[in-house]
Chains A and B, each alone.
Chain A
Amino acid sequence: MNRISLTMLVVLLITAITAAAPGSGTIEGKVTYTGTPAKPKVIDMSKEPSCAKMHSTPATTANAVTGPGNSLEYVVVYISAGATGETTAPASAVTFDQKGCEYLPHVVALQVGQELKITNSDQTSHNVHAIAKANREWNKSQTPGAAPITEKFDKEEFIPVKCNVHPWMHGYFAVLSTSHFVVTGSDGGYKLPNLPPGKYTVSAWQESYGTQTQEITIAAGETKTVNFVFQAKPY
């Protein structure tokens, strides 16, 4: 094969790839519930006055946060199968703050190998205890004003994280192997853009209600809607 045909082949490849970009599809939708979810419980922070006085309205449990129109917040929606060609984790770190003895955000999603930056904005010491099973379990204290703790995870896992000093502090590290993931906001809506055409399995994970999956095929430039409905339990 001579050099000219080789260069032509390369040119063709490049054009093909660039052409694909604008034509990438999007999956979007809304996560809602049916039935009656547990009433959010008021958290009694009296043992930690410095935190208690940071809440004008008392903080409440976040294991099932609902919004208008039965929307569910803090649901992790991600491509669990079908996604291709993404291994490198983004260089940007995901931040996870401890403020008013609450985790901000309650659920943080990040990619395998991506850096997690944990900060303490409180006047009290916290200990961040990642109760991992697939990954290495760790438990580190963070005194007020201490430097951020940075960690990485090398396996896909939904890791419960807690602070033993303030037992009500409970959150999750959603460590995903895909780069296509999103955590629903207060409206329960989500959007997974830049998906090359193809067949995908979309999964939605909620800490109390479990995981749901749906199959979907999208063509180039197409935007499809996938909604998830969880069965809420009063207790």
Chain B
Amino acid sequence: MGKIFAVVVVAIAIATAYFIVGHVYWMPEDISVHGHVIDEQIIETTAGAGILFLLGQFVLAAFVFLYGDSKGKRKLKAWPGGAKPLIWAAVVLIGIEILTLSFIGSKAWGAVYFSPVDPSALPIDVQAEQFAFYFRYPGPDGRFGGTHPELIDEGSQNYFGLDPANDVAARDDIVVASLTIPVNKPVLLTLHSKDVGHSFYVRELRIQQDFVPGIMIPIHFTATKTGKYEIVCTQLCGLGHYNMKAYLNVVSQDEFDQWLKGQSSGQ
């Protein structure tokens, strides 16, 4: 029985390692300026934790294999050295691993959250609601209109509660259901929610940030690769959670200007 157990455990450990190392399932290519730091962090952690995982499973398997049922014939041996070496091993090795990971990790974290916002960043207002994202560009006047929750009327596509009748700045605001941004240009999103908690998750950007009702949360990033990507909600927000998504179109500066012109004429 012990031998079977050992073999099974080893087989499972190796299979797992194959799936991870072979990237059978893996992250999509990173398209952000900050993302590579996170990727390196994940690689390092995978290496460190992976070794611990294999060691743990292999040693367990080895002991179960060696010291299986002897029907009481074998003379028992005590682990030489007792607990101290184990404790020290854990404290020193894991301590070192933890500290390095925390150190590199906080650098990666800082790269995302503590980097200053480029003043020329393109401001976009993002509203999450059950169950869609809506994006608002300031329009030609470069100013966002004020929002009034009581004016929200989805029947007429007034998702933000703008007041074009009295608020000139609101008239040329561009409201769309997919996020279009120019490549290699800093973007500043202001996240706010219309109803419940949501989250803004783009795998390729290595960004996940909750929308918290009642709070405006700014995030900024720069996309480095044109293409069409998916924005999905990762915070349980109700029955349509699984279908709460939008597309992120990263386009060249010219295409972006074209698109913007088209939109503002459409408004």
Contact = CB atoms under 8 A, between A and B. Distances in A.
Interface residue tally on B, bucketed by range: 20 to 34
Interface in A1-56: 38, 41-48
A162 interface: yes
Contacts of B129: 167
Contact of A165 (B131, B133, B153): B131
A127 interface: yes
B108 to A, nearest CB: 31
B178 A44 contact: yes
Given A46-B177, A47-B246, A127-B239, A164 B157 contact: no
A207 B155 contact: yes
20 contacts: A43-B157, A44-B177, A44-B178, A46-B178, A46-B246, A47-B177, A47-B247, A61-B156, A62-B155, A160-B155, A164-B131, A164-B238, A165-B243, A167-B129, A167-B132, A168-B154, A170-B155, A207-B155, A235-B164, A235-B165
A208 to B, nearest CB: 7
Interface string A223-235: 0000000000111
Contact of B245 (A43, A44, A47, A61): A47
Nearest to A165: B240
Most buried by B among A44, A166, A208, A233: A44
Given A47-B247, A124-B243, A234-B165, 16 more contacts: A38-B156, A41-B157, A42-B266, A43-B157, A45-B177, A46-B246, A47-B132, A47-B133, A47-B243, A164-B131, A164-B239, A165-B239, A167-B130, A167-B131, A207-B155, A208-B156
Given A41-B156, A127-B239, A164 B176 contact: no
Interface in B163-185: 163-165, 176-178
Contacts of B221: none
Nearest to A60: B157
A141 interface: yes
Contacts of B153: 63
Contacts of B154: 162, 167-168, 170
Interface of A: 38, 41-48, 61-64, 124-125, 127, 141, 160, 162, 164-168, 170, 207-208, 233-235
A44 B176 CA distance: 7
Interface of B: 129-133, 153-157, 159, 163-165, 176-178, 238-240, 243, 245-247, 266
Contacts of A164: 130-131, 238-240
Contacts of B131: 164-165, 167
B177 A61 contact: no
A62 to B, nearest CB: 8
Nearest to A126: B240
A124 B239 CA distance: 13
A234 B166 CA distance: 12
A175 to B, nearest CB: 18
Nearest to B134: A167
A41 B173 CA distance: 13
Main secondary structure of the interface of A (DSSP, over half): loop
Contact of A167 (B159, B176, B239, B266): B159
B241 to A, nearest CB: 10
B155 A63 contact: yes
A159 to B, nearest CB: 13
A129 to B, nearest CB: 10
Contacts of A63: 153, 155-156
A61 B165 contact: no
A69 B18 CA distance: 71
Contacts of B159: 167
B239 A141 contact: yes
A230 B193 CA distance: 35
B243 to A, nearest CB: 5
Contacts of B266: 42
Most buried by B among A38, A127, A165, A170: A165
B126 to A, nearest CB: 14
A127 to B, nearest CB: 6
Nearest to A64: B156
B116 to A, nearest CB: 33
A3 B247 CA distance: 82
Nearest to B231: A47
B25 to A, nearest CB: 24
Nearest to A41: B157
Nearest to B156: A63
